[in-house]
Amino acid sequence: MLGTMVPLTVSWGTLEDMCGRYASFRSDTDLVSAFSVAEVVTPDRPPSWNVAPQQDVRVILDRAPRDKPAAKVRQLRTARWGLVPAWATDPAIGNRLINARSETVLTKPAFRDSAHRHRLILPADGYFEWQPLDEAGRRKQPWYLTDPDGAPLAFAGLYAWHHNPDLPRDDPAAWLWSCTILTTRASDALGHVHDRCPVIVPAALLDDWLDPALTGPDDVRSLLAAMPEPRLTPRPVGRAVGNVRNDGPQLIEPVEVPDHRADGGEAAGPARR
């Protein structure tokens, strides 16, 4: 029998603690339609079922000219996953900034400016979670979590520009676009799930989240507080997703998993690490 395949209310594990993988395989045409994009800035990226940190990923944001803030345009473009703040002396800092805790983005120097003015979403089709099967965490079962109705997910994120000092500022190649995914506390309704989850922006709050004119700390804080807990459908998948060199739709195919039990107790579910 296949592992749990019915829709469940699931809290996602913290992206800081996971391997940092998600799936993004919809075409630009699909994303333009789903998120009302007006302008595609960079070419279509190839689909991926195993997106990893430090890769270029698809992002959606609203941009407006400084002299015409009301003339904002929703763009689909590419950014590097792993935020590199403008003041960073070494772009390698992005390796440590693939996530930002929503509770502290308005105060942490690495994220504060972006939280006020540079918010975006990362469209995704699903996300991978690793379930520890023993106390030491040596054996893990990957799960793929996605919207029960197959709708795309909108990860709340931040972006920044970083200038390469070796190139003139008017050279487009001199600027690195980078991004991070926000996480928040998750309610532990099932009693055996992780205590963090990514912030997923619902359609009703998308315009506000992307609005570059919304810059007040209190407004941003209230917006984050209004984000609902995601409700996702999990399914067990094969361990091949653990290797970033593997890719393809086979990575999200359900697999049969054993009924792991500890000391004759209840079957193990997604557990804390």
One of 129, 179, 229, 266 is an active-site residue; which one? 129
Q: Known catalytic residue: 129? A: yes
The answer to whether the Cα torsion of 129, 134, 137, 138 is positive or negative is negative
Domain 22-239 class, CATH top level? alpha beta
Q: Known catalytic residue: 19? A: yes
pLDDT at residue 12 tops 50: no
One of 16, 19, 39, 135 is an active-site residue; which one? 19
In the chain, what are the domain boundaries? 22-239
> How much is the pTM?
0.85
Residue 233 phi/psi, 5-degree rounding, is -105, 120
**Helices H, strands E: what count in the chain?**
4, 13
Q: Which letter, b or e, does each residue of 70-109 get, where b requires 16 or more Cβ atoms within 10 Å of its Cβ? A: eebebbbbbbbbbbbbeebeeeebbeebbbbbbeebeeee
pLDDT band of 14, cuts 50, 70, 90: very low
Q: pLDDT, tens digit, for every residue of 91-106?
A: 999 999 999 999 999 9
pLDDT at residue 10 tops 80: no
**Confidence at residue 7, expressed as pLDDT on a 0 to 100 scale:** 35
Maximum separation of any 2 CA atoms in the chain, in Å: 67
CA distance 264 to 12: 27
pLDDT at residue 188 tops 80: no
Q: pLDDT, tens digit, for every residue of 222-244?
A: 999 999 988 888 899 999 999 99
